[in-house]
Amino acid sequence: MSGANWRCTACDTYNDPGLTACEACETKRGVAAGPSASRSGSAVPTSAARSAAKPSKPAVKRPAAARPSADWQCRQCDTNNARSDLSCIVCGTGWKAAKKTAPKRPSAKKPAAKKTTAKPSGTGSAGARKSTSTPRPRSGTGAPRPSAPRKSTSTGGRSAPPRVAEGEVFYPSAAAHGYTPTAPAPPPGMTPPPVPPPPPWTTAPGYRPPSYKAPKSGGKGAGCVLGVLLLLAFPLLSKACDALSSGMSGPGSASAGSGPSSCPERIASSLPGGDGAALVKAFRTKNKSITLCRTEDDKLFYYGEFTDHREPGIAMPATKSSGGYEAHNGPYRYRIHGGSVTIYQSGRRIGQEKLTPVSSPS
């Protein structure tokens, strides 16, 4: 052993010989070291002298290092410290040098009225009032003082953390502290996607595709019958006129022996290289006229227009197919087959009308 334990004069704490400061109050050893329990001015006795000098009584045990008996308050910074802290948790002052009695809890004190003592006979009612009267709170340094947290310069102006009673640090009450998850919000309703607009009616400049209107309901029955009779009688009258004028057996057709009829001048002028074009076929629908003409360089054209000539017609290249004719104009295709004309847009059928052969467009 290098040396004996030394005793601090500030707090009466015994410290190990290797420590340079008191472990309780942190006072330097040179200032607080007192006379050691084992050192004296005399020489160190020998082993024989030690055995002879031993007292008959058992050696007294060395008292443990002094510790605070209860929670204490620092006099330097007014910080409440636990009884297990030997120094202030804020400023580091030892508990004996900065000890300040912690405020007493009123709940721990029992009322004096509960004591069962025999009442003296000579005191009378005055003695009873004295024993049962409520004790007044003491004044002075022993009275409890509220420990309001103060700002400390050693911590940068922050107040000391409040002391929480043991048993409440890690077990908060479920009523005051708890997390109740909120119910999730309902998902938003699904909005149906908007209906895409129909594709634009794209045609060549100067030509508007025919509009197909639904027949109007209602009207007088006699008017409807008269209209049907006129539609049926008009082709018969046209055929009779053609037979009388040309003497041909088939109205509206040109045989190879008699030579083809010439294409009308107003239609031939709309065809590229249409000078001297020949009429191939002519048809009529309810409100439109379709004419097929072939130019001198053997090119076939399809010419469509309204019967009342309210708009200029349009010419488009055509080809002869099995059992009819076909013409193309951008995404539109016109197919003449089986006595009717069918209109397609991008491969989708959009309309169909019945055809009536005529000798020549009017």
| pLDDT tops 80 at residue 120 | no
> What pLDDT is recorded for position 15?
87
More confident residue, 286 or 240: 286
- Please give, one letter per residue, the 3-state secondary structure of 282-340: EEECCCEEEEEEECCCCCEEEEEEECCCCCCCEEEEEEEECCEEEEEECCEEEEEECCE
Average pLDDT over residues 226-234: 75
| pLDDT tops 70 at residue 267 | yes
pLDDT confidence bin for 234, thresholds 50/70/90: confident
Please list the alpha-helical segments (H only) found in the chain. Answer: 29-32, 47-53, 125-132, 221-246, 265-268
Q: Which two tokens stand for residue 125?
A: 């009612």
More confident residue, 18 or 1: 18
Cβ atoms < 10 Å from Cβ of 234: 13
Average pLDDT over residues 286-307: 90
d(CA 313, CA 315): 7
d(CA 291, CA 232): 21
CA 337 to the chain's CA centroid? 60
Average pLDDT over residues 129-141: 47
Sort strands 314-321 and 300-306 into parallel, antiparallel or unpaired.
antiparallel
d(CA 131, CA 139): 21
How high does pLDDT run on average in the chain?
70
The answer to whether 280 and 295 have CB atoms below 8 angstroms apart is no
> What pLDDT is recorded for position 325?
92
d(CA 273, CA 261): 17
Average pLDDT over residues 69-85: 86
| pLDDT tops 80 at residue 97 | no
More confident residue, 93 or 170: 93
Average pLDDT over residues 288-296: 91
> What pLDDT is recorded for position 103?
56
> What pLDDT is recorded for position 252?
41
**Whole-structure pTM value:** 0.31
> What pLDDT is recorded for position 311?
87
Q: Which two tokens stand for residue 345?
A: 């847009």
Average pLDDT over residues 17-45: 65
Most confident of 43-52, 74-83, 125-134: 74-83
| pLDDT tops 80 at residue 73 | yes
In percent, the amount of the chain with pLDDT more than 70 equals: 54
Average pLDDT over residues 341-360: 90
More confident residue, 160 or 326: 326
Average pLDDT over residues 130-146: 48
| Range in 158-162, 240-244, 288-292 the model is least confident about | 158-162
d(CA 246, CA 279): 15
Taking only the tens place, the pLDDT of each residue in 178-190 is 567 778 888 888 8
Q: Which two tokens stand for residue 128?
A: 């009873």
> What pLDDT is recorded for position 317?
92
The residue extents of the domains of the chain are 1-65, 67-105, 233-357
pLDDT confidence bin for 302, thresholds 50/70/90: very high
| pLDDT tops 80 at residue 9 | yes
> What is the H or E stretch that residue 30 is in?
helix 29-32
| pLDDT tops 70 at residue 63 | no
CATH superfamily of this structure's domain 233-357: C-type lysozyme inhibitor (2.40.128.200)
Q: How far is CA 280 from CA 84, 252, 290, in A?
A: 120, 9, 11
> What pLDDT is recorded for position 204?
52
> What pLDDT is recorded for position 126?
43
| pLDDT tops 60 at residue 130 | no
Average pLDDT over residues 19-28: 85
More confident residue, 3 or 15: 15
> What pLDDT is recorded for position 132?
47
| pLDDT tops 60 at residue 144 | no
Q: Which two tokens stand for residue 180?
A: 């109740």
| Range in 62-66, 155-159, 162-166 the model is least confident about | 155-159
SS3 call for 205 = coil
